[in-house]
């Protein structure tokens, strides 16, 4: 089919067949379609939408543009976890090694910071020497050796996605659910996994702030994953406030290490255990989520997750000794404390605002500039404070950035006259053909 014919059909609302989606994905990867034609198609998809079958075909077509790892390259059930992106979201750093310690192989292809949301690869690169760029064979070898690896997508993995991703940013089609499914799942299907657990964020710091939008995304991702033969489940989690008590790169690695040592903030621990447990069920290691949580807790408290993380860091070129130094990995040049403007109860710590403050400091989207920059939460929603109490601590090398970030951070803090109860971290789950425990 000709490009113009395919674009016109979708613009008019027609449901396209598998052949058309193969043509679209192949042409994106090969350069057969011009950028203007690809952009027109992306806009048609975003405005008209795709049905469930079309979304599945798009995912499969994008995955087929690159190399797909065979499941038999791994020794144990291969299961991955993916987050739709949030603020302070260092869960992958806990989940991958802990799931590995519990009996899974985890070949995790991850991403970088985008806007106010942090990137797992940027966090890992704050570890001296850590190498996120692995070939497919290096990825497989690392997983076979350690049980887990976290790396960027090589040029051989779903090349159509890298082309379309940059155009989505330029054409304001980033929030199209079918295109999000195509981008996420085309890479995940290439990993050789049999199971996938999705952490779909809801709230101000997420891709979609409203819970219903996040539910729709979760359902589409689960349906497309299942259609491709991968056991897929989505966990809905809160992103109205940052996850944990740190936002940045090195500061988040330090907090993930605390969690792997059995400490860390309760919300990070809760979410990580939930995700690992569902991965264990998806991989057939455990029959029930409760059993999976118990297994994960045992491994966590025995230090097995931390042991795997150190081995992963070492095999990917990093220095594991940097993780256990008493002073931590983060080395802030300057610090600035944000204090409560009045007495009362912390009612809100807006994830979007704090994420933007971290990006200004150089700890979010500017992570390549200052990996030690970031925000520390000294109080959380529900805490009572007096005027002048410390609420946030900002860290960066640059004084100008500290002052600019402080103005943004102040606006993210809401103090009220009445006590409040923070929203649950895990809001519900969505599985194939059903949804359970969803919260509005």
Catalytic sites, residue numbers: 82, 161, 168, 183, 187
Measure the CA–CA gap between 182 and 440, rounded to whole angstroms: 26
299 - beta bridge partners? Answer: none
Of 271, 146, 268, 263, whose CA–CA distance to 197 is shortest? 271
**Token pair recorded at residue 382:** 């529900």
71 - beta bridge partners? Answer: none
Measure the CA–CA gap between 69 and 93, rounded to whole angstroms: 23
Longest dimension (CA), the chain: 67
Measure the CA–CA gap between 359 and 251, rounded to whole angstroms: 13
Number of neighbours of residue 324 by Cβ within 10 angstroms: 12
Of 150, 87, 78, whose CA–CA distance to 114 is shortest? 87
Phi, psi of 261 (to 5 degrees): -90, 5
Measure the CA–CA gap between 226 and 234, rounded to whole angstroms: 12
**Token pair recorded at residue 249:** 């790169």
* Cα atoms in the Cβ-side hemisphere of radius 13 Å centred on 78: 25
Of 317, 195, 305, 205, whose CA–CA distance to 260 is shortest? 305
Distances (CA, A) of 159 to 29, 56, 167: 6, 18, 13
Measure the CA–CA gap between 259 and 274, rounded to whole angstroms: 14
């Amino acid at each position: 089919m000709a490009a113009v014919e395919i674009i016109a059909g979708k613009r008019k609302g027609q449901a396209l067949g598998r052949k058309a989606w193969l043509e679209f994905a192949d042409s994106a990867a090969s350069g057969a379609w011009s950028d203007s034609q690809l952009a027109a198609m992306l806009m048609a998809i975003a405005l008209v939408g795709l049905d469930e079958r079309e979304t599945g075909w798009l995912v499969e077509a994008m995955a087929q543009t690159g190399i797909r790892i065979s499941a038999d390259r791994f020794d144990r059930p291969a299961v991955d976890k993916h987050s739709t992106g949030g603020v302070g979201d260092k869960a992958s750093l806990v989940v991958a090694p802990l799931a590995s310690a519990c009996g899974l192989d985890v070949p995790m292809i991850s991403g970088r910071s985008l806007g106010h949301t942090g990137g797992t690869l940027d966090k890992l690169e704050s570890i001296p020497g850590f190498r996120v760029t692995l070939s497919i064979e290096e990825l497989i070898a690392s997983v076979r050796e350690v049980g887990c690896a976290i790396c960027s997508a090589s040029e051989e993995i779903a090349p159509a996605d890298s082309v379309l991703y940059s155009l989505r940013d330029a054409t304001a089609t980033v929030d199209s659910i079918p295109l999000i499914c195509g981008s996420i799942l085309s890479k995940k299907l290439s990993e050789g996994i049999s199971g996938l657990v999705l952490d779909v964020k809801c709230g101000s710091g997420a891709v979609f702030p409203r819970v219903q939008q996040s539910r729709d995304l979760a359902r589409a991702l689960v349906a497309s994953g299942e259609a491709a033969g991968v056991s897929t489940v989505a966990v809905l989690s809160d992103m109205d406030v940052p996850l944990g008590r740190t936002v940045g790169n090195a500061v988040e690695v330090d907090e993930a290490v605390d969690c792997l040592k059995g400490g860390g903030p309760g919300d990070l621990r809760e979410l990580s255990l939930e995700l690992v447990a569902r991965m264990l069920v998806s991989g057939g290691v455990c029959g029930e989520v409760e059993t999976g949580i118990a297994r994960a807790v045992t491994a966590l408290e025995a230090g097995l997750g931390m042991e795997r993380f150190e081995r992963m860091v070492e095999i990917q070129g990093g220095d594991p000794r940097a993780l256990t130094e008493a002073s931590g990995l983060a080395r802030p040049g300057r610090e600035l404390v944000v204090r409560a403007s009045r007495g009362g109860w912390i009612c809100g710590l807006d994830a979007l605002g704090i994420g933007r403050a971290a990006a200004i400091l150089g700890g979010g989207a500017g992570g390549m500039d200052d990996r030690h920059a970031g925000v520390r939460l000294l109080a959380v929603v529900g805490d009572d404070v007096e005027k002048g109490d410390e609420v946030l601590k900002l860290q960066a090398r640059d004084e100008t950035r500290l002052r600019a970030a402080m103005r943004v951070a102040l606006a993210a803090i809401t103090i009220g006259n009445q006590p409040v109860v923070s929203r649950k971290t895990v809001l519900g789950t969505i599985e194939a053909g059903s949804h359970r425990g969803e919260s509005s």
